[in-house]
């Protein structure tokens, strides 16, 4: 029990790095607190300061490892967990919190002329319009003996009805609490057996027959029903059946997709079913982000961790000389040496740097404070104030880069990233953060097929010819052997990124003036830029 963080749980595992043939090891760490966001990470053993390494094949001392990874955690409060299965089961619940592949959705049936909660709960059976809608959503299943997701329905004694509506959508299981399938009580106008289930569902679909009165969520008395998806049928039980949809949600629930235009008509089709199921699943995910549900989840998480910390620990502290299972403890003298750098560059997830992006030109453009993220799949720029993505591209489309890192450079350190058909995005940092530019380049070298743009200054020969030809897309298609261009470093197949100085761009005559500077690439294709400094990648 940490005095500042409260109950915590730390898991770590040493495993051989894939493809290392036993020469390198990696640690995976999970750090759980009462915060809903669990911290997960990994680190190469060689990245930990060498003084913390252990000479035996069993790896690092847990104490030394956690001192390096979690320096703000009071390690004296940690105790080795017991071997009870309850520990594993509770940690699994914590790690799967917020990760839900099973959903329950209520469905209320509103006949013509109805609008109140009592009206809908007291509809004893379904009409043909409602049956048609239910057949579209899922399949009717027999509850007794049902072994899949049951959503708190009775699968032994039929106390919650004999049948229910079930479906699968992508990786999700959905069980519907259908008002007309739940038990009907003739002498109970509140129909508590029905409300007991639907009234505890976060998401409710309200199906309206033609002629139903307008729906208002004020007519529903429930503390748990937070999103209502109203589906109104038109021309039911015909070949022209279509539906209109409206959504109402509690004010603290954020907007969720898939979005649709006002007044949209949805024909009865599998596409409408997929839309409605996705809307319901996203609605529940959005509801869980509201303050009310986050507070409930935080309290649940705190109780789980408190129970583990008080009832499922041994007396073995982490700094004990007793060996932990699978890991041994070291007793070497502690030295403050730096660990190996750059291990994080191999991560599949995004690495992030604080940068500045200028939109509209350097002289009178708008400077935006952004986060540059580079993962194994994508490059993104996120505006920090609005948290909106202002740029993204696939790593496969990155074709090169050009950095300016010299002290005193106009505008400070900067990096041009060229992508797709030759477009470029420029990011800048302060003089004190010039190392960030170098780190971004290292990351790009690992996750893209691009390369650094080279500067080439081709001279003309005695008759004014530059010694090379380019296509309209910037490829160097012909190169005079032993000419000025080749001796200057230009290669066949390189492609122009940027030009400095005037250069004609017609395929049959790509002649440059004296002093033209080219920056060229060879690995991928780059389009001409408006700024005329010539870069190539090769």
Q: DSSP states of 46-57 as a string?
A: GGS-GGG--SST
Looking at the fold, whether 313 and 328 belong to one and the same domain comes out as yes
The pLDDT > 70 percentage for the chain reads: 79
Count of domains forming the chain: 4
Looking at the fold, whether 196 and 233 belong to one and the same domain comes out as yes
Res 420: pLDDT: 82
Which residues touch 240 (CB under 8 Å, ≥6 apart)?
none
Looking at the fold, whether 115 and 203 belong to one and the same domain comes out as yes
Res 47: pLDDT: 79
pLDDT band for position 492 (cuts 50, 70, 90): confident
Handedness of CA 276, 278, 281, 284 (dihedral sign): negative
Strands, DSSP E only, in 46-182? 79-81, 102-110, 139-142, 163-169, 172-178
Res 465: pLDDT: 67
446 SS3 class: helix
> How would you write 315-344 as a 3-class SS string?
EEECCCCCCECCECCCCCCCCCCCCCCCHH
Looking at the fold, whether 381 and 442 belong to one and the same domain comes out as yes
429, burial (CB in 10 Å: exposed 0-12, middle 13-18, buried 19+): buried
pLDDT digits (tens, 9 = 90+) for 198-211: 999 999 999 999 99
Confirm if 398 and 448 have CB atoms less than 8 A apart: yes
Looking at the fold, whether 308 and 232 belong to one and the same domain comes out as no
pLDDT band for position 326 (cuts 50, 70, 90): very low
Confirm if 60 and 49 have CB atoms less than 8 A apart: no
pLDDT digits (tens, 9 = 90+) for 278-311: 999 999 999 988 888 889 899 999 999 999 999 9
Looking at the fold, whether 149 and 202 belong to one and the same domain comes out as yes
Looking at the fold, whether 86 and 147 belong to one and the same domain comes out as no
pLDDT band for position 317 (cuts 50, 70, 90): confident
pLDDT digits (tens, 9 = 90+) for 412-432: 889 999 888 778 889 998 878
Looking at the fold, whether 134 and 268 belong to one and the same domain comes out as yes
pLDDT digits (tens, 9 = 90+) for 108-165: 999 999 999 999 999 999 999 999 999 999 999 999 999 999 999 999 999 999 999 9
Domain that holds residue 139: 102-287
CATH number of the domain residue 330 falls in: 3.30.1120
- The residue among 429, 449, 469 that closes a domain is 449
Looking at the fold, whether 417 and 281 belong to one and the same domain comes out as no
Looking at the fold, whether 153 and 206 belong to one and the same domain comes out as yes
CA angle 405, 489, 463 (to 5 degrees): 125
Looking at the fold, whether 77 and 124 belong to one and the same domain comes out as no
Q: Would you say residue 102 has pLDDT above 50?
A: yes
Looking at the fold, whether 444 and 481 belong to one and the same domain comes out as no
- Phi-psi label, residue 137: left if phi above 0, alpha if psi -120 to 50, beta otherwise: alpha
CATH number of the domain residue 444 falls in: 2.30.29.30
């Amino acid at each position: 029990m940490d005095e500042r963080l409260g109950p915590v749980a730390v898991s770590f595992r040493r495993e051989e790095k894939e493809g290392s043939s036993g020469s390198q090891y990696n640690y995976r760490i999970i750090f759980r607190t009462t915060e809903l966001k669990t911290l997960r990470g990994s680190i190469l053993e060689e990245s930990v300061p060498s003084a913390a390494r252990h000479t035996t094949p069993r790896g690092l001392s847990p104490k030394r490892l956690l001192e390096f990874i979690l320096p703000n955690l009071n390690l004296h409060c940690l105790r080795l967990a017991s071997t009870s299965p309850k520990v594993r089961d509770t940690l699994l619940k914590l790690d799967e919190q917020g990760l839900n592949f099973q959903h329950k959705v209520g469905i209320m049936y509103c006949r013509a002329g109805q609008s109140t909660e009592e009206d809908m709960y007291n509809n004893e059976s379904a009409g043909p319009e409602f049956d048609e809608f239910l057949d579209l959503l899922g399949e009717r299943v027999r509850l007794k003996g049902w072994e899949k997701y049951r959503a708190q329905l009775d699968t032994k004694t039929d106390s919650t009805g004999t049948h229910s509506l079930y479906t699968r959508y992508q990786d999700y299981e959905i069980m519907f609490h259908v008002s007309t399938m739940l038990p009907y009580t003739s002498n109970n106008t509140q129909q508590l057996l029905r409300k007991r289930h639907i009234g505890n569902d976060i998401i409710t679909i309200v199906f309206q027959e033609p002629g139903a009165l307008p729906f208002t969520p004020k007519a529903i008395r429930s503390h748990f029903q937070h999103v209502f998806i109203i589906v109104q049928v038109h021309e039911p039980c015909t070949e022209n059946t279509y539906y209109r949809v409206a959504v109402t949600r509690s004010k603290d629930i954020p907007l969720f997709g898939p979005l649709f235009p006002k007044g949209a008509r949805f024909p009865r089709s599998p596409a409408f079913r997929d839309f409605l199921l996705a809307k319901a699943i996203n609605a529940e995910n959005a509801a869980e982000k509201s303050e009310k549900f986050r507070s409930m989840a935080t309290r649940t998480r705190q109780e789980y961790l408190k129970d583990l910390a008080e009832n499922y620990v041994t007396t073995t502290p982490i700094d004990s000389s007793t060996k932990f299972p699978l890991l041994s403890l070291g007793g070497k003298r502690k030295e403050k040496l730096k660990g190996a750098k750059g291990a994080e560059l191999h991560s599949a997830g995004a690495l992030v740097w604080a940068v500045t992006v200028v939109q509209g030109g350097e002289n009178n453009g708008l400077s935006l404070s952004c986060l540059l993220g580079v993962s194994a799949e994508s490059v993104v720029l996120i505006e920090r104030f609005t948290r909106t993505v202002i740029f993204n591209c696939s790593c496969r489309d990155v074709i090169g880069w050009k950095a300016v890192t010299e002290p005193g450079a106009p505008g400070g350190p900067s990096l041009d990233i060229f992508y797709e058909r030759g477009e470029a995005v420029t990011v800048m940092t302060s003089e004190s953060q010039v190392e960030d530019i170098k780190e971004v380049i290292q990351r790009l070298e690992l996750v893209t097929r691009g390369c650094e743009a080279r500067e080439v200054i081709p001279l003309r020969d005695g008759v004014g010819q530059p010694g090379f030809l380019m296509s309209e897309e910037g490829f160097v298609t012909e190169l005079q052997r032993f000419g000025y261009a080749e001796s200057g470093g230009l290669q066949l197949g390189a492609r122009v990124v940027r030009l400095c100085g005037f250069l004609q761009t017609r395929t049959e005559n790509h002649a440059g003036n004296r002093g033209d500077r080219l920056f060229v690439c060879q690995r991928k294709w780059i389009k001409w830029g408006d700024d005329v400094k010539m870069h190539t990648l090769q």
